[in-house]
């Protein structure tokens, strides 16, 4: 597949998955891209960011701006943006997802969920601005991005350490990531064939039920929440986003806000290093609860903080050399598996319990960019080549078998298009 052929496939996929119209109940025009028309027909927050990055790489800035304007039209006065937007209907496809919205009458019409997802929002706006050099876009959208980040700062930094706390496993975007097993299940580390027989699913739904019963009042969840996790991926992406927001503020001479968000990004990085990094393990671990207990499960998240500019080179070298060069648990024919092959939870097979072994394009994309910046071009190119081979073999799928390259999950899934940005 040549570069021009890839661009055309990505363009066709994005355009065929695009939905636009007018929601009479909301009184708003909408324009968004479905991650997959059959499996994921709604708008998802971090998927939207990925789509706008792809559109920018295609030079489709008008479509990117329309999508961004549509998404931000749903922003609440507080600055909050939910992880899903139901433009057409009140009920989600999965009945249990009702519990991810506040128990209000508004939830009986098209609405947003009450959960968050990893934020690439400022990074996305920065990409659009870099391509257009149109400062009018910053005048239009920057205030909304600032309000969103201030909402996160005020409402999700439960321990005042600059780090974001997630209140549901579904907030990281990696729903059944095995590191959450220790919080959700009495029998963590259950191999995949037995997961369906365990209480894992119902405990995850129980977390959402608990939050729902507390009406998503974050003060109450902070005190008695059943799932309080600082995820490495979520916080790395958040730190990068605040730094991007500081740069955007600098472009329009908002000097006070530039310093404000640069400080937030620096503080987040400091505590990622202080609280999540384990010098002996040479890995960054998700942490849980008020005591910041490290959850030692091998997933690509352990590598994510190398993307942060203030992570010392010695730490970056230790993490990369140990987990990508020396160890074998991420070495498979098609990298990078969503769980280390040495973990008891690893399985390359399809399952409703996702993120437990197969390859997801977002990891390849993110780590490709991080590794290139850090000088590991060969490793970065290996991730790019793997994703290209997966697309050639199985097309645009939700995830792939790391041994055979067979595609699984949602068809016509947009994420593999991130290869354009590699």
Is 82:71 a contact under the CB 8 Å cutoff? no
Q: Report domain extents, the chain.
A: 1-74+82-115, 116-421
Res 410: pLDDT: 97
Contact (CB, 8 A) for 303 and 285: no
pLDDT for position 106: 67
Distance CA 349, CA 338 (A): 12
Angle CA(55)–CA(56)–CA(57) in degrees, nearest 5? 90
- CB 412, CB 36: distance < 8 Å: yes
CA gap 379, 160 in Å, rounded = 36
Q: Decide: helix, strand or coil at residue 325.
A: helix
CATH architecture of 116-421: Alpha/alpha barrel (1.50)
Cα–Cα–Cα angle for 47, 252, 374, nearest 5°?
55
User: Given this model, what pLDDT does residue 199 score?
Assistant: 77
Tell me, yes or no, if the pTM score tops 0.85.
Answer: yes
Alpha helix positions (H), 39-191:
45-58, 61-72, 121-132, 135-155, 181-184
Other beta carbons within 10 angstroms of residue 217's beta carbon come to 11
pLDDT score, position 202:
85
Provide the pairing of β-strand 229-230 with 286-288. antiparallel
Q: Are 273 and 305 in contact (CB under 8 A)?
A: yes
281 and 296 in contact (C-beta within 8 Å)? yes
pLDDT at 198: 66
Q: Walk along the chain (422 residues) in steps of 10 and give the mean pLDDT of each run.
A: 94 98 91 97 97 98 98 97 89 82 72 95 98 97 98 97 98 96 72 59 92 96 95 98 98 97 98 98 96 96 98 98 94 97 94 94 98 97 98 98 98 98 98
Element (H, E) at 230: strand 229-230
- pLDDT of amino acid 107: 58
Q: Residue 51: what pLDDT?
A: 98
């Amino acid at each position: 597949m040549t570069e021009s052929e890839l661009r055309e496939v990505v363009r066709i996929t994005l355009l065929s998955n695009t939905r636009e119209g007018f929601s009479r109940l909301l009184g708003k025009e909408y324009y968004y891209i479905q991650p997959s028309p059959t499996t994921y027909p709604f708008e998802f927050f971090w998927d939207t960011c990925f789509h706008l990055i792809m559109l920018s790489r295609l030079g489709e800035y008008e479509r990117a701006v329309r999508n961004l304007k549509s998404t931000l039209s749903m922003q609440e006065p507080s600055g909050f943006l939910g992880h899903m937007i139901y433009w057409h209907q009140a009920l989600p496809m999965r009945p249990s997802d009702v519990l991810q919205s506040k128990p209000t009458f508004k939830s009986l019409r098209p609405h947003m969920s009450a959960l968050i997802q990893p934020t690439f929002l400022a990074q996305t706006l920065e990409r659009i601005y870099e391509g257009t050099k149109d400062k009018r876009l910053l005048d239009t959208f920057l205030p909304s991005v600032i309000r969103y980040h201030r909402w996160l700062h005020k409402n999700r930094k439960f321990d005042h350490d600059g780090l974001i706390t997630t209140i549901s496993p579904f907030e990281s975007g990696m729903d059944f990531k095995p590191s959450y097993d220790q919080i959700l299940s009495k029998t963590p580390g259950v191999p995949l064939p037995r997961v369906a027989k365990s209480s894992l699913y119902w405990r995850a739904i129980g977390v959402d039920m608990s939050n729902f019963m507390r009406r998503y009042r974050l003060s109450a969840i902070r005190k008695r929440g059943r799932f309080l996790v600082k995820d490495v991926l979520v916080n790395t992406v958040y730190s990068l986003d605040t730094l991007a927001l500081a740069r955007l503020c600098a472009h329009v001479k908002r000097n006070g806000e530039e310093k404000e968000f640069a400080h937030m990004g620096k503080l987040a990085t400091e505590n990622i290093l202080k609280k999540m990094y384990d010098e002996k393990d040479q890995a960054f671990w998700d942490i849980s609860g008020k005591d910041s207990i490290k959850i030692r499960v091998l997933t690509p998240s352990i590598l994510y903080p190398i993307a942060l500019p203030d992570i010392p080179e010695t730490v970056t070298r230790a993490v990369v050399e140990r987990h990508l060069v020396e160890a074998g648990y991420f070495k498979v024919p098609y990298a990078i598996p969503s769980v280390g092959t040495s973990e008891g939870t690893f399985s390359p097979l399809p399952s409703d319990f996702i993120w437990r072994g197969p390859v997801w394009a977002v990891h390849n994309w993110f780590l490709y960019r991080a590794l290139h910046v850090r000088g590991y071009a060969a490793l970065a190119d290996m991730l790019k080549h793997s994703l290209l081979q997966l697309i050639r073999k199985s097309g645009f799928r939700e995830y792939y078998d790391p041994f055979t390259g067979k595609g699984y999950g949602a068809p016509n899934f947009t994420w593999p298009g991130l290869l354009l940005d590699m």
